[in-house]
Amino acid sequence: MRKVLVLILLVLLIYPVNGVRHEIYSKASSSDEGIYLYFSELLKGAGKCLDKFLDENTSAVNLSISLYHKVKLTEEESRFYTAKGVKSNTSMVVKPFLLQSSGIKRLTKSQSIFLENFKLLRENKNNYSAYVSARMAVMNMKLAADEINNSINEIEQIELWNGTSKLYFDVSELKSKLKDVYDLIAYYESLLAGFELESPIRESLIIAVSDDHPFLYQEITIYVYAKNVTPTFLFIDNAKYEIKEVNKHSFGVLGEHIIYAEGISNGEVIKSNIVRVYVSKIPTYLVLSSKSVAFLKEKVEVTGFLTDYYGNPLQANVTVKIDDKEAELMTHNGFLSFNVTKTSEGFIKVSTFYAGNETHEGSNASISIFFSRFPTSLYIEADKIRIGVNETVNFTGKVYGVNYSIPIYMFVNSTYVKSSNAVGEFNFSLEFSKPGEYVVFAFFPGDLLYKPAKSNEIKIIVESGVAEGFGIQEMIEMVMNKISNLISNLYHFLLIIVVVVVLFLVYVKSRRKRIGSKTELVEGVGGVEEVEKVEEPKHVEEPKVDWEEEGVEKAEEVSDEFKLPKSVEEAYKILFNTLVSKYNLKKSLTPRELLKTLKNERFSEILRVVTEIHEKAVYGKTVLGDEEKNIYFRSITRILEEVE
């Protein structure tokens, strides 16, 4: 569906440009280049978070959480497109960036805890609870800094390609800032050490964990701090373990787990603080893939993929809901597939749900497919386009794409003048009673299976004349030429006067003859019909088609109230800005975030289709067909009408 994975990244960009993000990324000429540009911006975001940390700025926590969510969403998008068969290096690149953003989030949160509790310590040196919290915060900052350092080392080794040249991430600035982070943590340790000398606390044994909410089988690190105490054993759910320099552990049982340590000081057993770890089920991911636009009665294949957090495909029952009908399907090696179709124009919603089991969480996914009527087209020709007043023009036309009789309406200067039914071919005649320029076209309003169609336009020029094919201007030019040629010959002067009189009489006779009858019979479709005299076109409302047939959705007409630009991207900007303003949303939202925010609105399914086509055209550099363009602009107009 998307040929270049750049658009995964483009949807998630950090910085807004004119209300809609990711414009600079659309310039990327290859998937690796797009990946490189996007993750380079994430490195800058990580640097800003570390700057806030070093300044002890309270906004550091929120900024780091925002960064983590962006990287997490990128990982989910990568997993989604991988399941859809879109190959790129995103899944490889995102892993160390996720480790980095997680470490930065933990670093800033731990700093906030440290500063809060150290303030309490300065107010009361005997506040042992505040001391333990501050000490654990420093330990967590160390663990977080180590995670960030490991991630930087991995990122530095990543190799991407831009054509025939290699791309490497520049982590030099981040390394320099991380060195300052370690220095600040060391300073915090010195503050606590000074407090220990001044306070009655002479010995302490404290533990901390890298994650107190892991999944089943997810490995965590347990850090032990001891002062004037010799650590002896680590206790996890009352099971005894020897304390090592690096203590790793994973849990195979759900629920709460208790961790603490013991040590010896002056022959006395010292017990550490207690850490409670809460283990949850393994997350799962269910993704769906299909084309977003199809024709009526077309069978559309929908494929799905079910996997867990560790990337293992799951074999399980998945509930599939299509509109109001449900069915159970079994995945095979994580995959499932089924077909959907529709007999009337409109959207069809496909939802899937995995309930989970004793070890895995449930998950769900949904998509929408727009089933469109079939396209058709009209073409007309005229036997002549330059005529005199009261002359008749015969038109022939063809209908493409429809094999049964349909109504054809003829318009002159956008005013309805006549109609007929046709199968494949049709013809009609028009008589023009006044001079001027007339634009003629044919129109099919559409029906349950086929879309409306307008033919090409033919311009008819009607000139005033004295006879068929002989206008006044030509007559005057001829007379003047004669005068010019014969003026030197007095002998022919009287002859010139005679010629002028004769021509004038011919004109009068012709004029009288044409004033007689207003209509004449000509051969038309299905036999003989009256030829319409086209005078001053009177405005007649275009015939209305009754759409309200039982069981059939009404085909939406595009309103003239909203004049959308022809550019796919510019049209989306108008929609984006309108929705943001209408619902008082942040302009920094991505298209997918906007879709998620408005998921409960009546037009959410239409917005989903607009978003998918927008990504395909703008981010995937895919040229849209006429059908997709029509659906795209009609859907945007429909949403705009909905919210106005």
pLDDT in tens, 472-516: 555 555 556 555 555 555 555 565 666 566 666 655 555 554 444
Share of the chain above pLDDT 70, in %: 78
Q: What is the DSSP letter of 27?
A: G
Q: Reply yes or no on whether the pLDDT at 86 is more than 90.
A: no
**Across-strand partners of 386?**
461
Q: Regarding predicted confidence, which is higher, 556 or 86?
A: 86
Percent of the chain whose pLDDT exceeds 90: 48
| Predicted pLDDT at 526 | 35
Amino acid of residue 189 = E
Mean pLDDT score of the chain, rounded to an integer? 81
Q: CB burial class (10 A; 0-12, 13-18, 19+) of residue 65? A: middle
* CA 41 to each of CA 44, 59, 161, 170, 445: distance values in angstroms, whole numbers, following the listed order: 5, 19, 18, 11, 51
pLDDT at 96: 92
Does residue 124 surpass a pLDDT of 80? Answer: yes
Q: What is the pLDDT of residue 507?
A: 56
The answer to which of 290-304, 421-435, 457-471 has the lowest mean pLDDT is 457-471
Which of 403, 394, 440 is CA-nearest to residue 425?
A: 403
Q: Is the pLDDT of residue 415 over 60?
A: yes
Of the candidates 470, 543, 530, the one whose C-alpha atom is nearest the C-alpha of residue 503 is 470
- Residue 47: per-residue pLDDT: 95
Residues 6+ apart with CB under 8 A from 234: 207, 222, 224, 240, 241, 242, 243, 247, 259, 260, 261
User: Given this model, what pLDDT does residue 201 score?
Assistant: 64
Tokens (6 digits) for 474: 């030509």
Which one-letter DSSP state was computed for residue 401?
S
pLDDT digits (tens, 9 = 90+) for 263-282: 999 889 999 999 999 999 99
User: Does residue 369 register a pLDDT over 60?
Assistant: yes
CA proximity to 93, closest of 44, 46, 42, 144: 42
Residue 430: predicted pLDDT = 95
Query: Would the pLDDT of 316 be above 80?
Result: yes
DSSP 8-class letter at 25: G
User: Does residue 32 surpass a pLDDT of 80?
Assistant: no
Amino acid at residue number 54: L
Q: pLDDT-derived band of residue 434, with 50, 70 and 90 as boundaries?
A: very high
Kind and range of the H or E run holding 381: strand 377-382
* Cα gap 576→592, rounded to integer Å: 11
b (16+ CB within 10 A) / e for 161-186: eeeeeebebebeebeebbeebeeebe
Give mean pLDDT, residues 316-320: 96
Which of 452, 385, 443 has the alpha carbon at shortest distance from 418? 443
C-alpha neighbours within 13 Å on the C-beta side of residue 453: 25
Cα dihedral sign for 338, 343, 348, 353?
negative
Q: Tell me: pLDDT of 626 over 90.
A: no
Q: Given this model, what pLDDT does residue 354 score? A: 96
**What amino acid is encoded at 248 in this protein?**
K
The confidence score (pLDDT) of residue 128 equals 81
Cα torsion 192, 196, 201, 206: sign: positive
Helix, strand, coil in percent for the chain, rounding step 5: 40, 30, 30
pLDDT at 339: 95
Q: Which residue would you say has higher pLDDT here, 497 or 38?
A: 38
Output the six-digit token pair for 2. 């998307």
Tell whether the model's pLDDT for residue 528 goes beyond 80: no
pLDDT of residue 555: 31
Q: Could you give the domains of the chain?
A: 6-201 (no CATH), 284-372 (2.60.40.1930), 379-507+520-534 (2.60.40.1930), 568-643 (no CATH)
How many CB atoms neighbour CB 474 within 10 A? 14
Instruction: Give the integer Cα–Cα distance in Å for 91 and 79.
Output: 7
Higher pLDDT, 417 or 490: 417
CA separation for the pair 363, 352 (Å, rounded): 9
Q: Is the pLDDT of residue 553 over 80?
A: no
Which residue has tokens 């020897």?
242
pLDDT of res. 85:
62
What pLDDT score was predicted for residue 500? 62
Q: How does pLDDT run across 192-228, given as a tens digit for each residue?
A: 887 776 666 667 899 988 888 999 999 998 989 888 8
Residue 298 has pLDDT above 60, yes or no: yes
Per-residue CA distances from 495 to 201, 503, 508 (Å): 136, 12, 20
